[in-house]
Chain A
Amino acid sequence: MGYGCFLPQPDAWMLVTVSIALITFLPKLRWRLVALATLSAIVLQPGVPYSLVAVVFGLLLFWCARRWPQSWFGKRPVAMLLAGFTLTIVASSAVPRTSALFTPAWVVVDIFAKYVWFIAYALTDRSASPQADLPLEAGAFQPFWGSTGVPFPKGAAYLRRIEARDADQLAVTQLKGVKLLAWALLLMVFERLWMFFFHTYLHIPLASAALDMSVRRTPYPWYVCWESQVLSFFEFLLQLSIFGHQFIAGCRVAGFNALRNTCRPLSSTTIIDFFNRFYFYFKELLVEFFFYPAFFRYFRKHRRLRVVVATFAAATFGNMFYHFTRDYWMIPVYGTVNACLNFQVFAFYCVVLGAALSISQIRRRSTPRSGFFQGRLLPASGVVLFYCLLDVFGSTQRNYPLSEHFRFLGHLFGINV
């Protein structure tokens, strides 16, 4: 999958099973066992020393932020962390390919990229209630139940708030975890059947293939492109649901009652509601590190402007920052200038998303429309159509310029330039 997933490795199943069994029977040692299992999972992965250095570095920053809260770093640790990460990428991109420092520089960026958002959550935990300490934070860095670059589910302080307090809560949470895992497995089977039926049996091209043909000036008929685009949207939802459910199921079985990552997105009747429901922990990341800082800092006397600026800070700037730094490898491969130019399509996607989310928030109705057709079906269809069309620009493959994506969009409506 192209989301930078860190699912437990197949050979780590024994570790995951034993850890969950121990956590179940020794709930008082839950946090120590989570930390131990997470560190063991790191040891089982390739590049062990680098990952351990990243964990130690993250914990050191957390300790510094708590030790010196009034220092320059202690006051705005996340901003400093992200600025440091950006500077590391900029410095690495300045190293010539022929230099002996080229590979080590990008290895540092690679490790940093894998842990940066986990460290960011740890830094926000420095003043959280209940307070997390170093072993707790270590357990939340790429936890053993799996994660993407986005922490599932947030940091250690959040985990403390949602952990099962007694045997009854643990049983309920674990059962919810097992149920979610079963649902993920069902979705996985359904996805395979879906792919076989639509793409192998009916020969409907993948959206990427439809775009490729449009670029070669031999496009598929417009209705085939619509089919590809709509299927691609639902396939993305399925993939997101499957891996998100797997992570959260593991987290729940370990005794933490985390919310689902994807929860009935097709029932959303507004653009903001869909954004909230389809990739919850990514949205939470954007809200925590980009929306709230902007919201509490700027235009506090202008209610609407404040919301719009904060939304653009999160959905546009934050989204771009996350994806550009996640795909940092494009810089050494294509060069800095080309990597930035190739990002134009996704940048456009983020701008439109920011604008749509802003409008959606401002237009929130005080009383939702009643009736199934007017209140549910019509708005939900509109939301799906919007995201389906926006998905034309949502590609992070970055193969083609923006003009080609517009050409494809025009072709969907029978406009051929």
Chain B
Amino acid sequence: MENKLAIRQFIERLLAQKGDRQPFRDSDSLILSGRLQSVDAVEVVVFLEEQWSIDFTQIGFDHNQIDSVDAILALIESVGASK
């Protein structure tokens, strides 16, 4: 729950930086739908590296892994990362 809240807050802030204040569900696509761009994906990657020590060079990187809040949560759980 705490993880989800942190991710949501981060995504909301990222979208707000782009002037996007539309609501989004946890399952909503963010990158494929065009709401977040590759540059924003980099921000998400850095956030995950810093907060959960996820090493993308080990697990490989794919936009699908960070396309929604649910996908990010699944990624964190799959690598067993802890804050």
A: residues with CB less than 8 A from B are 127-129, 161-162, 259, 263, 272, 276, 283-284, 287, 291-292, 295-297, 300, 303, 307, 310, 361, 364-368
A283 touches B17 (CB 8 A): no
B42 within 8 Å of A (CB atoms): yes
- Chain B residues contacting A263 (CB-CB under 8 Å) are 34
CB distance from B30 to the nearest CB of A (A): 13
Q: Which 3 A-B pairs have the closest CB atoms?
A: A287-B38, A259-B34, A276-B37
- Chain A residues contacting B32 (CB-CB under 8 Å) are 161-162
B64 within 8 Å of A (CB atoms): yes
CB distance from A14 to the nearest CB of B (A): 33
Q: Main SS of the interface on chain B?
A: helix
A296 touches B56 (CB 8 A): yes
Contact of A368 among B19, B45, B61 (CB under 8 A): B19
A367 touches B42 (CB 8 A): no
Q: How large is the interface on B (under 10, 10 to 19, 20 to 34, 35 or more residues)?
A: 20 to 34
CB distance from B34 to the nearest CB of A (A): 5
CB distance from A147 to the nearest CB of B (A): 20
* Residue interface bits B4-15, CB-to-A below 8 A is 1, else 0: 000000000100
User: CA–CA, A218 to B64, complex, Å?
Assistant: 56
B60 within 8 Å of A (CB atoms): yes
A272 touches B39 (CB 8 A): yes
User: CA–CA, A162 to B64, complex, Å?
Assistant: 12
Nearest-neighbor residue (CB-CB) of B60 within chain A: A127
User: CA–CA, A383 to B46, complex, Å?
Assistant: 27
- Chain A residues contacting B19 (CB-CB under 8 Å) are 368
A292 touches B34 (CB 8 A): no
B39 touches A366 (CB 8 A): no
User: CA–CA, A137 to B57, complex, Å?
Assistant: 26
Interface of chain B residues 11 through 64 with chain A (CB within 8 A): 13, 16-19, 32, 34, 37-39, 42, 45-46, 49, 56-57, 60-62, 64
Report 6 cross-chain contacts, Cβ distance below 8 Å, ordered by A residue.
A291-B42, A296-B56, A296-B57, A300-B57, A307-B42, A310-B42
Apart from A303-B46, A361-B39: 19 A-B pairs, beta carbons within 8 A: A127-B60, A127-B62, A128-B62, A129-B62, A129-B64, A272-B39, A276-B38, A276-B39, A284-B38, A291-B38, A292-B61, A296-B57, A296-B61, A307-B42, A364-B17, A367-B17, A368-B17, A368-B18, A368-B19
Contact of B57 among A128, A297, A364, A365 (CB under 8 A): A297
Nearest-neighbor residue (CB-CB) of B13 within chain A: A366
- Chain B residues contacting A307 (CB-CB under 8 Å) are 42
B62 touches A365 (CB 8 A): no
CB distance from A85 to the nearest CB of B (A): 23
- Chain A residues contacting B49 (CB-CB under 8 Å) are 300
- Chain A residues contacting B34 (CB-CB under 8 Å) are 259, 263
